[in-house]
Structure 1
Amino acid sequence: MHDCRLHDGSTVVIIGGGPGGAACAIRLLRGADARGLRLRVLVFEGKNFNVHANQCVGVLSPPIEEVLTDELDVRLPSSLIKRQIFGYRLHGTRENLLLTGHGATAAMPGRGHATYAVERAHFDRFLLDHARELGAQVIDSRVTGIEFIRADGLDEVRVYSESEYVRADVVVGAFGLDEAMLSVFEEVTNRDGRRGFRRPAKWLQSYLTTLPAPARFQTERLGHIVHAFLLPRACPRIEFGAVTPKGDHILVNIAGARVTSTDLDDFLQLPAVQKLLPPFDPTVINYYEGRFPSAPAHAPYGHRYALVGDATGWLRPFKGKGINTALVTGLRAADAMLAHGVSRRAFTHYRKSCADLLGDHTYGVLVRRLMLMSARVFLDPLIDIGKTDPVMYDALFDSVSGHDSYRNIISRSLKPHLVRKVGMRLLRGRRAHRAHRIRRMKEITVRKMTVRDIDQVLRLDEKITGRPHAAYFESQCDAYIKRAPDTCLVAEHRNHVVGFVLGDVRGWEFASELAGWLEVIGVDPNYQGRGISQMLLRDLFTSFRRAGVAVANTMVNWNDGDLVDYFRAQGFERGEYVNLVRRLDE
């Protein structure tokens, strides 16, 4: 034991059998086997995961699959997945926005970029069983005390529990924010004037509840979307709230530095939340209390000990990604022990390997403070901008989903055009890109398109785009005029066509209801800025209403900011459907 290296027959005690402890055990045993070592790995876990669970939302975010597969050689079975999460809807005071992207919508189990909702107890049991299969000894008992012995030629750790006494080379704390174990580590590592472990000084309180809901209800109300609420105005103590579909139930959770269970009472009564939930009796549902750190711990490692997961405090604010952090810290602590040993100096390699977590924490704290100070002023404008600006959209998605670091989000978002847009929203106090007041030409009239107009329409389209589309318009215009004569219109000035629009009324995929579709609109460049497109759209929407439809759709290239802004000015918003593309040349 004296050289602080792991040898054949060395004993490693892990306190806690959650994801951090199980990952550490799996990595240790696989790494030891590759080095030809026989390690004795003992995992103390007082919970029975068939009965008890760590209180957690249970959402696995990328890169969870890469970590499991590449780092632990563990495949996530589809049977554990309660529901795949395709995106997030971010709710502000008045605005809301559906956020998808970065593979979340396209990934399938096993492809590495998906987000999954799981039953936390089942996931924990799965990982712990895997560690057990590799040779870890799981002891169903709570640890009651620890001693670090460095005297009389001894250098070891002594672990006391409700059932067993163990002498070990190193102890790993994977117990989250368990009050008793935090106190034990603080007491034993700070003896004799040593500056040892101190628990995270700040944390967020959380409360959650589950509501039974049939799968059909969840599909109709929530789909595969997590609804996220940042600092809801009616619940000022709540920093973050969410409604998550879990297959056989819906999970509702809130978090904040000063929240209480009464805030969950109020959150469940918010109209925007009530729309997502089945009827329930608030007097009979169960609440669960928890917390997670919002500041790093002091000295989460030392001579013959290391802490992993929540106890380190190395979680990201808002979207904590606690399971990911537990897995990553657990396996990196194992790597440090195998490669460098179990001394304090050896564990500095553990801290260095977690520099990405620690480095991003500063940026996360900055984002959280900015949100707490100004979210109720800035959030709606940011959501509004995200509806038309891809850079802001990605920043909001990454912030809510945890797909990227705060450092990268900030560096990508500090763009002059975004700063200007935010400033304009705040200064004008209304949505940007609202249609300008313009003077209309009295001589312009709007009427139904006829086949005699097709020749003028195709010449006008070529004038607008600079490319001939004669074959397209000759066939399409004729087909649209025959199928939907009331929604194919031209704007005319002194017997000359100066604008046109092709529309249709039809359903779409997935048995969706009938809706109006704006297919093509064009205005002569010499007549632009005179209200012609608004006249065409006004009459088109009137025809849609007469046809009995309540929604008008169109499709644009998301990266064409000017075109997106134009349609926003006409009242269009980003819709629910996402365009998926499969390249056939790969």
Structure 2
Amino acid sequence: MKIPLRDNAVIAVIGGGPSGAAFAIRLLRKATEIGKKIDVIIFEGKDFKIHYNQCVGVLSPPLMDILEKELLVELPPSLYKRSIHGYRLHGGNKEVLLFDRGTSGMTITVRRVEFDRFLLDTALNLGARLIRSRVINIEFFQPEEKNGEVRIYSESGYTKADCVVGAFGLDSTLLSVLENVTKKSKKPYKRPKKMLKTFITKFHADPVFLRKYVGNIIYAYLKPPEIPRIEFAAISPKGDHIIINIAGEKVTSLDMDMFLSLKDVKEHLPSFNPSDLSYFEGRFPTSPSKNPYGDRYVCVGDVTGWMRPFKGKGINVAITTGMRAADAIIEGGIGNDSFSKYEESCKELLDDYIYGAFVRFLCIKASRLFVGRMIQMSLINPIIYDALFDSVSGHRPYKEIIKSLIKPELASKEIISFIKKLLRGKRKMGEIKIRNLARHDIEAIVKIDEKITGRPHEAYWTGKISKYLASEPGACLAAEIEGKVVGFVLGDIRGWEYAVPTCGWLDVIGVDVEYQGMGIGKKLIEALFSFFKKSGIENVVTMVNWNEADLIDYFRSQGFERGEYINMIKKL
């Protein structure tokens, strides 16, 4: 039915979180632009000054652009608790450090109660009215009855409205109310069938601990094998504390106990007494609801179920659906016809659910094989690396991610790589011999480098190796198998470079791509460390590009830790 939006219409919003507030902000701004008066009433039982919101509070791209350019809201810097630079993904007994290539925008963490209060205050400043009361029932009337008005009953009374907006998340009472009041309509509302339970806890930590043991990284865990009920878990840094969350269909608080006891997790947490911790339980949908709109009602946020698995991007979905619903009312009114266009405007969210459900299935049913293999391949394949980053961070829709992975050239390359790995596994590998590098090895090193980079650099390596052999020949080593050079390392001993006292430098290491994963690099580094120790060296330094996550992971596995210096560059 087409129901035009009349002047002085009353729109009741049940829920003052991000979806309800975003709806009110957008609707009031758009109404002002077209010169229409609208009375927006927000029902919210929580007081965001004291209540805890069951959400980690990560704002990922393109949310900041949406807030500023579409909702015309600029977050005050005081809301920013920490900028997130990357994600360390654990899965399938593998791990990888994932960083953005610098093109996606800023990811920040916020304290949800402060963020929610700011958005709600913005809506109130634009003219929305707040009723601090919990809604307990709704009545819809036909056009011949009371002109088709909606009546909303709350703990403090009842209100008449032209249209009601469901922005109440997964509140079971209100979901039942909406299902009951629409059950006699042609398209009754049905809540999302599938949901994940979540548990959240918080650790306070001083700035030194946060900087040293957590940093600006979110640590993500997919299906930890020790705790099969956990599908996804994360350690997220805030301003002065750390948020831990776990999620799964059948997860319990006991799973949180077990997760906090894992060695990899405890490394990022301050010492604690388990009996002092408080857990907060929540849920989020993993399947869409049915008929989330009709004549004189529309749902936004979690009520729609239009979320993506794992990285739900709940705040993004809340803001987006709130704005699109407001646009539909301004452009087409408050009837089913108008809201069907609202659903079309959110098609990318529904599409992403289908693709995301497929990814979630793979991660759950074949986590060790699928996730572990993907992480392993990401260390040498930038397409897979970016796909993993975007999946964990939520920077790109799953539809785009999957399309980037099904390119024929990528598939053929990985199949060939997999076959080679199988063949290597079946053949008996000769003994790995580590010896001093010599000038006659230059040709072999040029070939190894060409396999890795795809280009020959003969002049570069001839000059570089000659320089290192002249400076510190004992720190220049080659790895041989059956007389073939399959790897090399170039090191040096020097002092006061970058104000660093005399120490050993690991400058270059390379392993033939056909022999990677066989422990050759580890043997080269161990031999280099042995030389440094015999030379009286106590510390070894290396430098790596911060975006080269595979190298960072590799060097950390060899005992390296992040140093105190960063390089700074100015483009002229």
Shorter chain as normaliser: what TM range? 0.7 to 0.9
The corresponding residue for 1:302 is: 294
Instruction: Describe how 1:45-444 pairs up with structure 2 within 5 A.
Output: 45-103=44-102, 113-150=105-142, 151-152=144-145, 154-191=147-184, 194-415=186-407, 419=411, 437=429
Letter matched to residue 329 of structure 2: M
Distance 1:519 1:462, change over 3 A: closer
Query: What secondary structure is seen at the aligned counterpart in 2 of 1:283?
Result: helix
Query: What secondary structure is seen at the aligned counterpart in 2 of 1:144?
Result: strand
The corresponding residue for 1:527 is: none
Q: Distance in 1 between matches of 2:52 and 2:77?
A: 20
Q: Distance in 1 between matches of 2:85 and 2:179?
A: 42
Q: Distance in 1 between matches of 2:128 and 2:502?
A: 56
Greater shift after overlay, 266-275 or 425-434?
425-434
Greater shift after overlay, 250-259 or 384-393?
384-393
The corresponding residue for 2:571 is: 584
Distance 1:362 1:573, change over 3 A: farther
Q: Distance in 2 between matches of 1:300 and 1:509?
A: 61
The corresponding residue for 1:517 is: 506
Letter matched to residue 380 of structure 2: T
Q: Distance in 1 between matches of 2:3 and 2:218?
A: 47
1:360-401 per-position Cα deviation (integer Å, ceiling 9, x unaligned): 111111111111110023322221211221111111111111
TM-score by length of 2: 0.83
Whether the aligned pair in 1 keeps the contact of 2:435 and 2:477 (CA below 8 Å) is no
Whether the aligned pair in 2 keeps the contact of 1:477 and 1:502 (CA below 8 Å) is no
Q: Distance in 2 between matches of 1:380 and 1:522?
A: 22
> Displacement of 1:426 after TM fit?
7.8
> Displacement of 1:518 after TM fit?
2.4
The corresponding residue for 1:446 is: 436
The corresponding residue for 1:504 is: 492
Whether the aligned pair in 1 keeps the contact of 2:468 and 2:492 (CA below 8 Å) is no
Q: Distance in 1 between matches of 2:498 and 2:426?
A: 31
Q: Distance in 2 between matches of 1:513 and 1:182?
A: 67
Distance 1:234 1:550, change over 3 A: farther
Query: What secondary structure is seen at the aligned counterpart in 2 of 1:154?
Result: helix
Letter matched to residue 235 of structure 1: I
Q: Distance in 1 between matches of 2:343 and 2:399?
A: 19
Which runs of no fewer than 5 residues in structure 2 stay unpaired? 451-455, 480-486, 513-519
1:527-571 per-position Cα deviation (integer Å, ceiling 9, x unaligned): xxxxx9999877545324445457674658989x9xx9xx989x9
1:155-188 per-position Cα deviation (integer Å, ceiling 9, x unaligned): 1111122224221111101010011111111111
Query: What secondary structure is seen at the aligned counterpart in 2 of 1:329?
Result: helix
Distance 1:158 1:54, change over 3 A: same
Letter matched to residue 15 of structure 1: I
Aligned Cα RMSD in Å? 4.3
1:338-363 per-position Cα deviation (integer Å, ceiling 9, x unaligned): 00111011100100000000011111
> Displacement of 1:432 after TM fit?
8.1
Distance 1:411 1:544, change over 3 A: farther
Q: Distance in 2 between matches of 1:212 and 1:516?
A: 38
Letter matched to residue 199 of structure 1: R
Distance 1:540 1:136, change over 3 A: same
> Displacement of 1:506 after TM fit?
6.5
Distance 1:480 1:116, change over 3 A: farther
Letter matched to residue 291 of structure 1: R
Query: What secondary structure is seen at the aligned counterpart in 1 of 2:81?
Result: strand
The corresponding residue for 1:528 is: none
Whether the aligned pair in 2 keeps the contact of 1:461 and 1:468 (CA below 8 Å) is no
Letter matched to residue 329 of structure 1: T
> Displacement of 1:436 after TM fit?
8.9
Whether the aligned pair in 1 keeps the contact of 2:14 and 2:167 (CA below 8 Å) is yes
Q: Distance in 2 between matches of 1:213 and 1:558?
A: 27
The corresponding residue for 1:11 is: 10
Q: Distance in 2 between matches of 1:419 and 1:460?
A: 29
Query: What secondary structure is seen at the aligned counterpart in 1 of 2:123?
Result: helix
Whether the aligned pair in 2 keeps the contact of 1:381 and 1:422 (CA below 8 Å) is no
Whether the aligned pair in 2 keeps the contact of 1:519 and 1:554 (CA below 8 Å) is no
The corresponding residue for 1:542 is: 530
Whether the aligned pair in 2 keeps the contact of 1:458 and 1:473 (CA below 8 Å) is no
Distance 1:302 1:466, change over 3 A: closer
Whether the aligned pair in 1 keeps the contact of 2:2 and 2:338 (CA below 8 Å) is no
Distance 1:260 1:500, change over 3 A: closer
State the aligned residue count: 547
> Displacement of 1:7 after TM fit?
2.8
Q: Distance in 2 between matches of 1:38 and 1:244?
A: 43
Letter matched to residue 487 of structure 1: A
> Displacement of 1:460 after TM fit?
10
1:122-171 per-position Cα deviation (integer Å, ceiling 9, x unaligned): 00001111111111111211112211111346111111222242211111
Letter matched to residue 446 of structure 1: N
> Displacement of 1:310 after TM fit?
0.3
Identity in percent:
42
Query: What secondary structure is seen at the aligned counterpart in 2 of 1:216?
Result: helix
Q: Distance in 2 between matches of 1:431 and 1:243?
A: 39
Letter matched to residue 76 of structure 2: P
Whether the aligned pair in 2 keeps the contact of 1:384 and 1:431 (CA below 8 Å) is no
Distance 1:521 1:346, change over 3 A: closer
